[in-house]
Amino acid sequence: MKIDLIPGGVTAAKGFKAACCAAGIKYKDRTDMAMLLSERPCAVAGTFTTNVVKAAPVLWDRRIVKEVKAAQAVVVNAGIANAATGQTGMEMCAKTADFAGKALGIPADYVLLGSTGVIGPNLPIDRITAGVAAMAGTLSDTPEAGTAASRAIMTTDTVNKECAVCFELPAADGAGTVKVTLGGMSKGSGMIHPNMCTMLGYVTTDCAVDPDVLQQALGEVVPDTFNMISVDGDTSTNDTLLVLANGLAGNAPVAAGSEGYALLREALFTVCRDLAIKMAGDGEGATRLVEMRVTGADTRENARRLARSVVSSSLVKAMIFGKDANCGRVLCALGYAGVEFDPAAVELWLLGEREDLCFYKDGCVQTFDEDLALAILSEKQIRFCCDMHMGGEEATAWGCDLTYDYVKINGDYRT
C-alpha cells in the first residue's frame, strides 16, 4: 500500500464542503472568512500553541478537542486574532458558534473556530455572523471551493497552502479495500517558530478512526513537521492545527498499532510536512527556503534541536539573504543548541543542485570554491547537511532567509 499525492485540499475527502466570503473583518474587498462543513459529525484531534497567552478561539477549540471529541464545522476569520480580548473574546466565540450552529443545523459545540491577524481588537460580531450566514448558503464540495477557502484565511501569506493524498485501507465489510482521502490547508508567514508556529491548519479525512487514535497519530506527526519550521523566532498566540475524520470512506476503523494506523500516520505526515515546508518558504519577505538536515545524532530530540537552532538563527538567515558563504554562522548555531558534541567530529556540507561543497570537517573550516558557494547560495532552495558522527538519529528543519521586507512588513503590521 502506498500514499499518492492528488490535487486538492480540504474538500478532497468525501463529505466535506467549503465556502468563503468577504466579510470586511479588517480590510475591504478581500475574502477574509472561510467555513468547512462535514456531512456528518467527525472525530476530531488538535494541537495548539505553547504560548502562555492563548487566543480565545484556541481555548474554545481545545475544550472541544479534549471534552467533546467531535466536531462538524469550522469557521475561520482573518484580520483580527481575537487574542488578548479577555472574557469578551470568549463571548464572541460562543456567539459565533451558536449562530453557525443554527445556520448549519448542528450543535454549537460541534463548531470549531479559528482567528488570525492583529492581537487586541475585538471581533466585529455583526460582520462575523453576516459572513457565517453568507457562507452557509454557498458551501460546495468542489476543489475550487477548497482552494478559495485556503486563500481566504491568508494574512501576510503570498500564496495559499493546500495538499491532498489518497491511500487504501481494508473495507469495513471485509470485502477488499476502499480508497481513503486526506487533505489539508494552512496559513502562516510570520510569527513562526517551533513548538507550534504561527499558523492555522485544517486537515480533513473520510477515514473511520477513533478520536483518541487520531490524536495519537497527530501527536506523533507534529514534532517532525510543523514543529520543525521557523521564520522569525516568535511563537504565536493563535496556533491551531485540527484534524476532522468523518468515516465516510467506509474503511474498518483504524486501530492503534495496526498497519492501517501506520498508513494513516504516513498520510497525515505527508500532508503536514508539505504544508509546513510551504509555510517556511513563504515566510514574510522571504526569497529562499532553507533546509537543515542533521544526521548522525545520538538521539532524535538532539537532532531536532540542532536542526531547529540553525534555521532559527537570525545570522544564518541574514547570511542566506546576502549569499555570504560564512559557515561560521551555522557552526555557531549548532554550538548553542543545547546539545553536547565534539566539534572535531562534525562534517558540514552545503548541497547544490549539481555539486556539493564541504564547509567544515576535522575541526576546521575547509578551503572551498567561493564561486561555487555563491552559485549554490543563489539557488531557490538552500540545503545544509551536518553529520554529527554521534549515532544513528536524524531530523530536518526548514526556514527562510531574513530580508529587509520582513522589517517593512512587521514595522506597520497593525496599521
Whether 325 contacts 348, CB under 8 Å: no
Cα distance between residue 276 and residue 225, in whole Å: 6
**Which helix (H) or strand (E) element contains residue 210?**
none
Cell of 258: 495496526
Whether 73 contacts 105, CB under 8 Å: no
Contacts of 163 by beta carbon, 8 Å cutoff, 6+ apart = 5, 9, 183, 184, 270, 271, 274, 275, 278
Cα distance between residue 48 and residue 261, in whole Å: 23
Grouping H, G, I as helix, E, B as strand and the rest as coil, residue 77 is strand
Q: 344: how many CB neighbours lie within 10 A of its CB? A: 10
Q: 31: how many CB neighbours lie within 10 A of its CB? A: 18
| Catalytic member of 198, 237, 295, 403 | 198
Would you list the DSSP string of 92-109? HHHHHHHHHHHHHTS-GG
Whether 231 contacts 399, CB under 8 Å: yes
Alpha helices in 313-413 (DSSP H): 314-322, 327-335, 370-377, 404-411
The verdict on whether 204 is a catalytic residue reads: no
CA contacts within 13 A on the Cβ side of 113? 31
**Catalytic site positions:** 198
